[in-house]
Amino acid sequence: MKKQIPNIITSLNLLCGCVAVLFAVSGDLVTAAFFVFFGIFFDFFDGLAARLLKAQSDVGLQMDSLADVVTSGVAPAVVMVQLLSQAFNGTPYVIADVLHPHAWNSGFDNYLPLIGLLVAVASAYRLAKFNVDTRQTDSFIGLPTPANALLILSLPLILEFQYSEGLEAVILAPWFLVTLTVVSALLLNAELPLFALKFKTWDVKTNLLRYLFLAVCVVALLLLEFIAIPVIILLYIALSIGKNRAVKTA
């Protein structure tokens, strides 16, 4: 039974992802965002539990990736479709309306929101590569799918809890959402080394960058609330690039 605990936690991740997709499809992006956050929380602890219980398995590895495809791939992709639909059409995306014969000649605006599904495809490809890439044991190559999901899911939360006309004008601008979709798909699969928040030891010298990053995250979240999430993701990428350059020049 002990060996099944990590798989149970992974199953909770998958369950949260499925519920998030249902809320996203119905247009409730805020609730979808919170369920994705819960899923990512379980995603962090399933690996930790597997290491502590010495219950790592090939099945657990595959199940973890399958759960991430839903929680950190499909769910944020559907949220992006809904955001793009609001940007292009001013209404939530309803696939039945798009497939109705009267919509066939109504222009491309009904179909452009489907660009958001690129997030799901790019996430699945990134997770497949991760499972066979032996370089990603101590660091990541490309933006991790949970980080990308947090970036996308922060947008409806910002609109809901930190609303301003200026933020809405930017977040719901078609050019911004399309650009973010394409850039996130590229970052997921870029040959860009990024440091991992995996602590093998707790000493400060070895994990100084991780501790500093986590401290900045806490301060940013307290000061900026949900706006801090995209700031933190950008900082994560910038710090990783800086670390890579420092290693090359050392």
Residue 161 lies in a domain: yes
- Structurally, the chain folds into a number of domains equal to 1
Residue 223 lies in a domain: no
CATH classification of the domain holding 159: 1.20.120.1760
Select from 15, 153, 143 the least CA-distant residue to 78. Answer: 153
**Domain range for residue 173?**
2-194
Going residue by residue through the chain, which has 250 residues, state the pLDDT in tens, using 9 for 90 and above: 667 788 888 999 999 999 999 999 999 999 999 999 999 999 988 777 767 677 667 776 788 889 999 999 999 999 999 999 999 988 888 776 665 555 545 556 678 899 999 999 999 999 999 888 777 766 789 999 999 999 999 999 999 999 999 999 999 999 999 999 999 999 999 999 998 877 666 677 777 888 899 999 999 999 999 999 999 999 999 999 988 887 777 6
Global pTM?
0.90
Residue 40 lies in a domain: yes
Q: Which residue has 């996203």 as its token pair?
A: 24
| 151 Cβ contact list (under 8 Å, min separation 6) | 180, 184, 229, 230, 233
Residue 140 lies in a domain: yes
| 206 Cβ contact list (under 8 Å, min separation 6) | 200
CA distance 4 to 69: 21
CA distance 43 to 38: 9
